[in-house]
A and B are shown apart, each in its own frame.
Chain A
Amino acid sequence: MTREEILDELKSVFAPYTTNKEMLANINDQTDLITDLKINSANLVDIIIDAEAKYNIEIDYDSADKMINVGSCVDVIAEKLKQK
């Protein structure tokens, strides 16, 4: 799976947690989950759980802490997929 494919799929993972649909449609590696997508910080854990289910991977606490912008989310998921 390419980084672009993961980034595109992540839009559906983020969708339930953001009302900023315009920003969501145009996310890039630099898009910040909290400041740009206005996602409630408490919901970051839900995004991790949803991503785990979607890709059938396990995201440990250390990796989860890195997932603050779209680029780092893609990196973590790509790495976990590689380890499968």
Chain B
Amino acid sequence: MAKRVVITGMGVVSPNGVGLADFLEALKQGKSGIRHVAKYEELQMSCHVAGVPEFEWDKLKSYLSEVSFHGLKGTNIAYGITAALDAWADSGMPYETDEPHWDTGCVFGNSAPDSDATKNVINKVDNKEVKKLGSRIVEQTMNSGVTSFISGRLGLGNRVVTNSTACATGTQAILMGYEYIQSGLAKRMVVGSGEHIDTYIFGTFDSMRVLSRKFNDQPERASRPMSASSGGFIPGSGAAALILEDLDFALARGARIYAEVLGGAANSGGQRNGGTMTAPNPAGVIRCISDAIASAGIDPADIDLVSGHLTATMADRQEIQSWSNALGRSGKDFPLINSVKSMIGHCLSAAGSIESVACILQLIHGFVHPNINLEDPNPEILKIIDAGCMPTKMIKKDINLIAKANFGFGDVNACLFFSKYNKDK
């Protein structure tokens, strides 16, 4: 029989709050983490703002040995370690262990290894200084650097995987961890994802003209999902991690249970019928949501909240149309819907995990975070759902069932359902 999977710990490094307490407050207050980045203006980018966590590098010293800390330069790795170790501690587990945790694995994703670290390699190699690179570079330029640091620090002995599906990475990491536990392959999984948008990654998106450039002088207003004035997305950096456990395993060790992962699905639209490298095939999105509904065994009428992908591009309208079709709900009957990206921008690979932590916080604290900057809802969206479905102020409300989805370049989709833990399910 399939195992039930629960969430017992979380950690987050978000542009609008580092650590669960700060992130929770930021979500409730609708606090923006979008800041002006002088470097982007200097480099003549079109977009000059980004979601940047207020990350204190020296705090890493309390997470890593002095030897590991020395020589660590990869920011994405630093974010990932912080989120994962915070989540582990939050689940009530100690960092130290002599024997590997054979029953615990890790799926943690990122879009690219740190390109500043890669730049260092390119410069030294081209400059005939390859001998000066040293031993600490490979671990920071290999794509599995983050999972290697996390699993090494915590002594994880089950399967350790680095996943990557663009903006669906974080959601997919959670789904993969859920599937390993559900099928009995692992008792516990550290899942999540990270992203550090350095100037080079930022530049590749800026060049595509998909970033907002109309609010460079008002960073906090720049990310505007679902609004008529949305003019592209704002990249953001950060990481988040969740500890998933087999329900019986969690109960046996007396763990605090935050919520349950009821099910989920991932697929691709095949880059057909409107789907391209950069745009989703709506049939793929609808199928992914429908498959997730079937996997979770829920009735779409019971969904309280949709945490959308909703990046603040032209794609927002089509996304809401796909949700509406998949759920069979529209107008005033549509669930509440919000986008964490209005506050933190689009954290690419980290989006799914940071936004999932936001979902769980809303479940356990009984609120719906506001969509900030939604001053002028897109009229085309209002033809599908009622304006009241898109809260612009925080709503205090008992939330039991949340749908979370993210869609990524390559026409890849991932959808999850989270609910409160009910022991009598």
Bitwise interface map of A from 34 to 56 toward B, beta carbon under 8 Å scored 1, else 0? 00000010110110010010000
- B 129-161 contacts with A by CB, 8 A: 131-132, 134-136
9 A–B contacts from the bound complex (CB under 8 Å): A16-B67, A17-B67, A17-B70, A40-B67, A42-B135, A46-B134, A46-B135, A46-B136, A49-B134
Q: Does any Cβ of A come within 8 Å of B62's Cβ?
A: no
B interface, size bucket: 10 to 19
Q: Does any Cβ of A come within 8 Å of B71's Cβ?
A: yes
Q: Does any Cβ of B come within 8 Å of A19's Cβ?
A: yes
Contacts of B136 in A (CB 8 A): 46
Q: A43, B135: Cβ atoms under 8 Å?
A: yes
Contacts of A17 in B (CB 8 A): 67, 70
For B70, the closest partner residue in chain A by CB is: A16
Q: Does any Cβ of A come within 8 Å of B126's Cβ?
A: no
- Additional A-B contacts beyond A19-B66, A52-B132 (8; CB < 8 A): A16-B66, A16-B70, A17-B70, A19-B65, A43-B67, A46-B134, A49-B131, A49-B134
Q: Does any Cβ of B come within 8 Å of A18's Cβ?
A: yes
Inter-chain CA distance A19–B66, complex, in Å, is 7
For A53, the closest partner residue in chain B by CB is: B132
Among A18, A49, A52, residue most surrounded by chain B Cβ atoms (within 10 Å): A49
Distance in angstroms from A23 CB to nearest chain B CB is 14
Contacts of A18 in B (CB 8 A): 67
Contacts of B66 in A (CB 8 A): 16, 19
For A, the interface residue count at a CB cutoff of 8 angstroms equals 11
Report the number of A-B residue pairs with Cβ-Cβ less than 8 Å. 24
Q: A16, B135: Cβ atoms under 8 Å?
A: no
Contacts of A16 in B (CB 8 A): 66-67, 70-71
Distance in angstroms from A44 CB to nearest chain B CB is 8
Q: A49, B71: Cβ atoms under 8 Å?
A: no
Q: B135, A45: Cβ atoms under 8 Å?
A: yes
Distance in angstroms from A1 CB to nearest chain B CB is 23
- B 56-72 contacts with A by CB, 8 A: 65-67, 70-71
Inter-chain CA distance A40–B134, complex, in Å, is 13
Contacts of A42 in B (CB 8 A): 135
Choice from A19, A46, A52 contacting B71 with Cβ under 8 Å: A46
Inter-chain CA distance A16–B132, complex, in Å, is 17
Contacts of A40 in B (CB 8 A): 67
Distance in angstroms from A50 CB to nearest chain B CB is 8
- A 9-35 contacts with B by CB, 8 A: 16-19
For B134, the closest partner residue in chain A by CB is: A46
Contacts of A43 in B (CB 8 A): 67, 135
Inter-chain CA distance A18–B65, complex, in Å, is 10
Distance in angstroms from A18 CB to nearest chain B CB is 7
For A46, the closest partner residue in chain B by CB is: B134
- B 320-360 contacts with A by CB, 8 A: none
- B 102-147 contacts with A by CB, 8 A: 131-132, 134-136
Contacts of B131 in A (CB 8 A): 49
For B66, the closest partner residue in chain A by CB is: A19
Inter-chain CA distance A63–B304, complex, in Å, is 68
Contacts of A46 in B (CB 8 A): 71, 134-136
For A44, the closest partner residue in chain B by CB is: B135
Distance in angstroms from A69 CB to nearest chain B CB is 19
Inter-chain CA distance A82–B131, complex, in Å, is 22
Shortest beta-carbon contacts, A-B, top 6: A16-B70, A42-B135, A46-B134, A45-B135, A49-B134, A46-B135
Distance in angstroms from A55 CB to nearest chain B CB is 14
Q: B135, A19: Cβ atoms under 8 Å?
A: no
Inter-chain CA distance A39–B132, complex, in Å, is 19
For A39, the closest partner residue in chain B by CB is: B67
Contacts of A19 in B (CB 8 A): 65-67
For B133, the closest partner residue in chain A by CB is: A49
Contacts of B132 in A (CB 8 A): 49, 52
For B65, the closest partner residue in chain A by CB is: A19
Contacts of B67 in A (CB 8 A): 16-19, 40, 43
